[in-house]
Amino acid sequence: MSAQVASQKKQQDLQTQYGVYKNTLQQIAQKIGDVEQEAEEHKGAHDGFLLHVLKSDLTPHAVIANFASITPLFTSFLRRLVLETLQPLSEDRKCFRLINGVLMEQTVKDVMPALTTNSEGLKKVLEDLVKQYKAKQDELEKWKKKNNVQVVQN
């Protein structure tokens, strides 16, 4: 009888471990999906607005009023759009950049390197999440082989 209880306990432990692996994979996939989805949803909606803001002579207060509520993730995504917009402009052109809630007057020459670095950072985050997902998936497959686990789907 004690062997049967031990077997049931081991089966429950394996099911719990499998559930943890699956939940972790779902969470990573959700993070990847959220980043990609938010980027796609907002690109089209805000392209025209960004071009208007960057190529017009809006006052700093008007820019703050329109950008104050943007999330950090969305702001990171917008950096790419801003880079594309600033690229053809003169390096001496005045522009405004929101840094920690403070609107700073700078030039295109000063802003471009920082925005490039931030844009590359966002790409790296996505790449790292994909690597993390694949590593966890490989770990799950090794765990299944090691423990002779076969998943039965209903």
Residue 3 in any domain: the answer is: no
The string of DSSP letters for 71-121 reads: -HHHHHHHHHHHHHHHTTS-TT-EEEEEETTEEEEEEHHHHHHHHHHHHHH
pLDDT at 64 over 60: no
CATH code assigned at 21? 1.10.287.370
Residue 152 in any domain: the answer is: no
Residue 96 in any domain: the answer is: yes
Expressed as residue numbers, the domain containing 82 is 9-133
Residue 146 in any domain: the answer is: no
| Average pLDDT rounded to a whole number, residues 33-62 | 49
Q: What is the domain count for the chain?
A: 1
Question: In whole angstroms, how far apart are CA 6 and each of 9, 12, 43, 141, 147?
Answer: 5, 10, 55, 24, 15
Residue 2 in any domain: the answer is: no
Checking 89-98 for CB contacts under 8 A at 24+ apart, the result is 95/54, 96/60, 96/63, 98/63, 98/64, 98/67
Model confidence at 75, pLDDT cuts 50, 70, 90, reads low
pLDDT digits (tens, 9 = 90+) for 82-120: 788 888 889 999 888 777 788 888 888 988 887 777 667
pLDDT of residue 86: 85
> What is the percent of the chain with per-residue pLDDT over 90, rounded to a whole number?
19
